[in-house]
Chain A
Amino acid sequence: MLLAVAVLPAVYLVVTSLTPFQLTTPGSATDFSSPLRNYGLLPGDPRFVNSLWVQAKLSCWGVLFQVLLGMLLALLLNVPSRFVEFARTFFLIPMVLPPIVVAVIWKLIYTPDISPLYYAAQALHFTMPALTSSVDFALTAIVIADTWEWMPFTFLMVLAALQTIPDEYSEAALVDGANTLQIFWYVTLPFITPILVISGMFRLIDSVKAFPLIFLLTSGGPGTVTEVTNYYAYLLAFDTNEIGYSSAVTVVMLLLVAGISLGLVWMGRRREAMG
């Protein structure tokens, strides 16, 4: 039953990917005459190749910022205080908001006429470039919004890890004359490195889900600057009606995500084994 939820759609997806299925072409859903045609087209499809590259850039920068900022935030908030404990919940708000509301919020920030960001720039006599419609800045704009939304996740994970560190360790280091930075580098960081890696890995795998942000902020544009694979697959299936080809794109994307996940787990195991 549980497997059915996960496996049946996957099987259906793979079957569809072997056909030239278009909703407008009768019989195309069961045409298995050239099953690998879609997969053969992929390497020569510049939009597909570009979308993988865009996704890689988005994921890498997003994960980097989320892990770093989440860690800094966790360090700042790791204090035993009733008030701070209460305040922590509010730091989680961006992550629990409906993703489409997050996208609406950033649409607001990136729309010059009504944006507080552009107001501030105007008041300071600074000309703010159009972020979401500029080839140079569009992907950065997505990364910023994605970081805002998901930084609370890494914050949460790192905070949990920080709270397992016994106070005695840093106190002992303090007695030995270590300064703040040294304590962080030699005591705290080794302790939280595994959780930094794990939360980064989960954000990396999850980063293919930035759909609402891209849908609302840039629609993949300008051109294909922010067109990630997920969005390209969506356009193919529900905009240009190429359901069979879109399925093939999705299957390849799934295999890549699964491959990266397995690779990361394997690396984690090896690290553990090496001690």
Chain B
Amino acid sequence: MNAPSARKATPGRLAAIIVTLLILLSPFLWLLQMSFKTNDQILQFPPPLIFTPTLEHYAALWHSAFSASFVNSLLSASLSTALALLFGVPAAYALSRWAGRGKHALSFAILVTRMAPPIAFTIPFFLFYRWIGLLDTITGLVLVYTSFNLPLVIWMMQPFFDTIPVSLEEAALVDGARTRTVFTKIVLPMVTPGIAATAILCFLYAWNDFFFALILTRTNARTAPVAVVNFMNYEGWEWGKIAAGGSLVMAPVLIFSLAVRRYLVSGLTAGAVKG
């Protein structure tokens, strides 16, 4: 038997890791393989493990209202990410240079917006949107996601700015550069990797949202996660479409998660460690 505290990559342990991983991921893999089966194959018993993959469900989704929902998801997630960065990055820079005033308010905002159950925000947003006519609009969704991502952007970006020596900026100022130029030409390029990682986390947050989209949209601004659920209706569940739709909804998440592995941890546990 391998000692858990003795840190050795023995073949036995590697095998155990692989088996555990397969068991853990099997529910997820089952959904994925189902999206490539015909409806007959989905209902067949025993389930065929080897089959000729079909793209019929994906094609059906392409020609259905689902594609519009997918575009809605893309739009609301990317617009809200852009807005949150536009306001959040300069704010993080300012906070970093002003010796961390406002950090307390920031931790509070992060904690509240990330940890309070969404229903606590949906009722006020729903009533307010109903009043000013923002229900079932992309604008409405974008505003919600932006306000939730803003604290995250500031929270994630501030440490990046903290690592840039002030002397570097002072040198540029002495050389005659303006404050604005210093920020755009010197500071920003140095934090690009941080911005990219933060952007992806913001995008994922908006993309993954189900609750706000469920309440604040009906048909025009319906997002992909809500559209997937609509394939489960009273006439019966269209499992092929559900599987294909689910796979499409998780595709960007998987791609981005692999791309920002290193930053994923700090983003997912935001507020957990420092808060």
Q: Which residues of A contact B (CB under 8 A)?
A: 2-3, 5-6, 8-10, 12-13, 16, 29, 73, 75-81, 83-84, 87, 89-101, 104-109, 111, 113-114, 116, 119, 122-123, 148, 153, 156-157, 160, 167, 170, 174, 180, 183-184, 187-188, 198-199, 202, 205-206, 208-209, 211-212, 216, 230, 233-234, 237-238, 243, 246-247, 250, 253-254, 257, 261
**What's the dominant secondary structure at chain B's contact region?**
helix
B254 A180 Cβ-Cβ under 8 A: no
- Give Cα A183–Cα B4 distance, bound, in whole angstroms: 9
A234 B119 Cβ-Cβ under 8 A: yes
Instruction: State which residues 112-148 of B face A: CB under 8 Å.
Output: 112-113, 115-128, 147-148
Which of A83, A111, A234, A257: most chain B Cβ within 10 A? A234
Which of chain A's residues have a CB closer than 8 A to the CB of B117? 208-209, 211, 230, 250, 253-254, 257
B4 A76 Cβ-Cβ under 8 A: yes
Instruction: Write the nearest CB–CB distance from B162 to chain A, whole angstroms.
Output: 18
Taking CB as reference atom, which chain B residue is nearest A2? B109
Q: Which of B7, B21, B42, B229 contacts A216, CB < 8 Å? A: B229
Q: Which residues of B contact A (CB under 8 A)?
A: 1, 3-9, 13-14, 16-18, 20-21, 24-28, 30-31, 34, 42-43, 45-47, 102, 105-106, 108-109, 112-113, 115-128, 147-148, 150-151, 154, 204, 207-208, 210-211, 215, 225-226, 228-229, 232, 237, 239, 242-243, 246, 249-250, 253-254, 257-258, 261, 264-265, 268-269, 272-273
22 A-B residue contacts at CB 8 Å?
A: A5-B109, A5-B147, A6-B108, A10-B124, A12-B124, A29-B127, A76-B17, A87-B17, A91-B21, A94-B24, A97-B253, A99-B208, A107-B232, A119-B45, A119-B46, A180-B1, A184-B5, A212-B211, A230-B117, A237-B119, A246-B123, A247-B123
B42 A114 Cβ-Cβ under 8 A: yes
Which of chain B's residues have a CB closer than 8 A to the CB of A243? 123, 127
Instruction: Write the nearest CB–CB distance from A201 to chain B, whole angstroms.
Output: 9
**What's the dominant secondary structure at chain A's contact region?**
helix
- Give Cα A234–Cα B118 distance, bound, in whole angstroms: 10
Instruction: Write the nearest CB–CB distance from B142 to chain A, whole angstroms.
Output: 14
A238 B14 Cβ-Cβ under 8 A: no
Instruction: Write the nearest CB–CB distance from B35 to chain A, whole angstroms.
Output: 11
A100 B123 Cβ-Cβ under 8 A: no
Which of chain A's residues have a CB closer than 8 A to the CB of B113? 5-6
Q: Which of B13, B121, B211, B242 contacts A104, CB < 8 Å? A: B242
Q: Which of B6, B102, B126 contacts A170, CB < 8 Å? A: B6
